[in-house]
Structure 1
Amino acid sequence: MRALLVVNPAATTTSARTRDVLIHALASDLKLEVATTEYRGHARDLARRAAESGEVELVVALGGDGTVNEVVNGLLHRGPDPDSLPRLAVVPGGSTNVFARALGLPNDAVEATGALLDALRDGNERTVGLGLASGTPGTVDEAVPARWFTFTAGFGFDAGVVGRVEQQRERGRRSTHALYVRQVLRQFFSDPHRGRGTITLDRPGHTPVRELVLSVVCNTAPWTYLGNRPVYAAPGATFDTALDVLGLSSLSAAAVARYGTQLLTSSPGKGPHGKHALSLHDLTDFTLHSQAKLPFQMDGDHLGVRSSVTFTGVRRALRVIV
């Protein structure tokens, strides 16, 4: 089998020595080409060329969720076609690795490589659904290119946190859970919209939901991890359905304490709930609008500010080795 291994050399939890070991292990079973990313978006470009070549059967992403997101967007550059596109495999190398862990893969790169080789020998794969976010027609964001996401997108408060974390990482800080917690607190005290939400959720055939402060879109569960603890924003989300949404209409100190506690104690059967919490399951098409421009993130990657984003849940979008 001809395969392309896309390696992010800045991956948080793998050393150069570990990467060499993984490459040798994969090359023993595959006709392997190795490409190292050199700039933001390079993994997308590499995966797109692999898909367009018609010769590569498998693309392996070695890195974190950001690397996986780029590879997926490269593979789906011309849209989903799971029967003809290369399959995707993931070797986790980031700090959280939500997509890989949601697929049931080990969080250790060496163990995940062994599991990948076993899955290839046994022919184990699944076809997963993905989310697509695009600019909304008739708005200032209409020209924004569409982009796929694997596990989550956020509009508002949580995206602001992601942006703050990225700023800290650019200054040389390591991506740790403590760093995220500090940025959550800073976002809480500085967010000008947490008292009165500016987000409206529109979906065909339903009354718009207005004045949301926070909106999290999930393609799977868990939403994220704190160390080894899974956190469920939308426990019903799966790779086999469309998209789930968690919206909050209040971020007062009391609401943050209540919903923060619910997130930390969430489980596969129970996520945030209450009079200020909105939970919607298996949505195929919907739009989030805001009266003010708000931060936007996908798969933990801050994408600037938007005033409107249209979401589509696409079932059976890509084949993945598991």
Structure 2
Amino acid sequence: MRVMLIVNPFATATTPAGRDALAHTLSSRFSLDVEHTTHRGHAGELARRAVAEGVDVVLVHGGDGSVNEAVNGILGPPDQVPDPSRTVPGLGVIPGGSANVFARTLGILADPLAATGQIIGLLESGQCRRIGLGHTQDRWFLFNTGMGMDAVVVHAMEDKRHAGKPATPARYFRTTVASFLRNATNKASFTVEVPDHEPIPGVQFGFVSNTSPWTYFGDYEIRTNPTTGFDTRLGLFAATSTGVARNLPLAARLLTHRTPKGGHLYRDDDVEWVRFRADEPIDVQMDGDYIGAHVAVDFGHRADALAVVAPGADSLSTTLTTT
């Protein structure tokens, strides 16, 4: 089995010694190519090369952004008609970022060396599972995307990381609170459209999820769409207010794992598509990466889009040769 290991050496939780140890362990079991990313988008470039060279599995040691890039490189644009004769690699993740939402949601162990052993066991048994993915017209997303407040927070955190500040849970919390307080009177809004429902105007922040949890606060799961999963369609969480008084009770429900609800909230855990429409550009994030300000974004879903090396129910298990 030929494996390409894509390593982001700048990821939060990677170290030179750790990277060498897991590469050594993998190379003792498989034909291994090790590639280090050097710039944004590089993981996608390497994954496209892996497809062209007939690599069986792409392993990513990095954060959610690197994994997102690799998946987009493996699958190509969502609006591209799939070639039935094209064999694509399976994907495995060895956590290396600060949040590792995708890996944790798949049931991958948090420690990179432990995760490597787990991945080896799954690869040697030839097992993977197929999962559905969300997408826009030109890009796939793995676990969530959003317009408005969460993108504002992601944008602020990226600025802090670029300034040399680590992305800790405490810093995320402080940045989230500060962003809500700063934007409590911001009137920028957008309209959300979903199938079989009247348009929802005046939305000030909206999340589209491909699975649950939406994110983690340290080790704590935040579930905006509790029954959305890799085997359902998309989850939508759209709020028409950023006011502190209206969102504190909602935040309390999220933090205590109660069903999210509120008079200013529209939620659906299984929709076929979602459209966001704004009169002026509003910040958008995808899988924890800020992707700019947009006035229109369409989100869709494709079942069984990707084979992932991960533990799963027998009904979802398949071999790595599945395309």
TM-score, length-normalised on structure 1?
Answer: 0.91
Please report the RMSD computed on the Cα atoms of aligned residues, expressed in angstroms: 1.6
- Which residue does 1:262 correspond to in 2? 253
**For 1:305, which of 286, 293, 317 is the aligned residue?**
293
Give the equivalent residue in structure 1 for 2:67.
68
Gaps of 5+ in 2: 311-323
> In the alignment, residue 279 of structure 2 is paired with which amino acid?
Q
In structure 2, the residue matched to 1:161 is: 153
Give the alignment partner of residue 94 of structure 2, picking from 60, 70, 91.
91
Q: CA deviation at 1:192?
A: 6.8
1:122 Cα deviation from its structure 2 partner: 1.7
Quote how far apart the aligned CAs of 1:52 are: 2.4
Match for residue 49 of structure 1?
A: 49
Which residue identity lines up with residue 235 of structure 2 in the other structure?
D
Decide whether the 8 Å contact of 2:195 with 2:272 is kept in 1: no
Evaluate the alpha carbon distance shift between residue 226 and residue 212 of structure 1 in structure 2; reply closer, same or farther with a 3 A threshold.
same
Residue 183 in 1 paired to residue 186 in 2?
no
Asked if the contact 1:234–1:245 (Cα under 8 Å) also holds between the matched residues in 2, the reply is yes
Alignment partner, residue 230 of structure 1: 221
Counterpart secondary structure, 2:136: strand
Q: Secondary structure at the match of 1:240?
A: coil
For residue 260 of structure 2, give the secondary structure of its aligned residue in structure 1. coil
In the alignment, the residues of structure 1 paired with residue 39 and residue 178 of structure 2 have an alpha-carbon distance, to the nearest angstrom, of: 29
**What residue is the counterpart of 1:273 in the other structure?**
261
Q: Secondary structure at the match of 1:308?
A: strand
**Residue matched to 1:139:** none
SS of the counterpart of 1:310?
strand
- For 2:185 and 2:42, the matched residues in 1 are separated by 35
For the Cα contact (< 8 Å) 1:284–1:314, is it kept in 2? no
Of residues 237-246 and 201-210 in structure 1, the stretch that sits farther from structure 2 once superposed is 201-210
How many angstroms does 1:182 deviate by?
1.8
Distance 2:218 2:190 in 1: 31
Q: In the alignment, what sits opposite 2:281?
A: 293
Once the two structures are superposed, residues 73-119 of structure 1 have per-residue CA deviations (whole angstroms, 9 ceiling, x without a partner) of: 10011556798210000000111100001001111111110100011
Instruction: Determine helix, strand or coil for the equivalent of 1:112.
Output: helix
Alignment of 1:4-43 (within 5 A): 4-43=4-43
Q: Is the 8 A contact 1:193 1:213 kept in 2?
A: no
How many angstroms apart in 1 are the aligned matches of 2:189 and 2:175? 21
CA contact (8 A) 2:184 2:242 kept: no
Instruction: Report the alpha carbon displacement of residue 183 of structure 1 after superposing the two structures with TM.
Output: 1.4
**Residue 292 of structure 1: how far off its partner (Å):** 2.4
CA distance in 2, matches of 1:184, 1:129: 29
Q: Distance in 1 between matches of 2:223 and 2:175?
A: 20
1:237 deviation in Å?
Answer: 1.0
Q: After superposing the two structures, state which structure 1 stretch, 175-184 or 42-51, moved more.
A: 175-184
Output aligned runs, 1:128-207, within 5 Å.
128-134=131-137, 146-191=138-183, 194=186, 196=187, 198-207=189-198
Q: For 1:197 and 1:236, how far apart are their aligned partners in 2? A: 30
Asked if the contact 2:185/2:242 (under 8 Å) is kept, the reply is no
Alignment match of 2:110 (pick from 89, 107, 111): 107
Number of aligned pairs?
A: 306
On the 8 A contact 1:293/1:307 being kept in 2, the answer is: yes
TM-score (norm 2): 0.91
Letter of the structure 1 residue corresponding to residue 106 of structure 2: L
Q: Deviations over 1:24-53 (max 9, x none)?
A: 111111100000000000000000111123
Superimposed CA distance per residue, residues 160-206 of structure 1 (whole angstroms, 9 cap, x where no aligned partner): 00000000110010011111122112222332764x46121113443
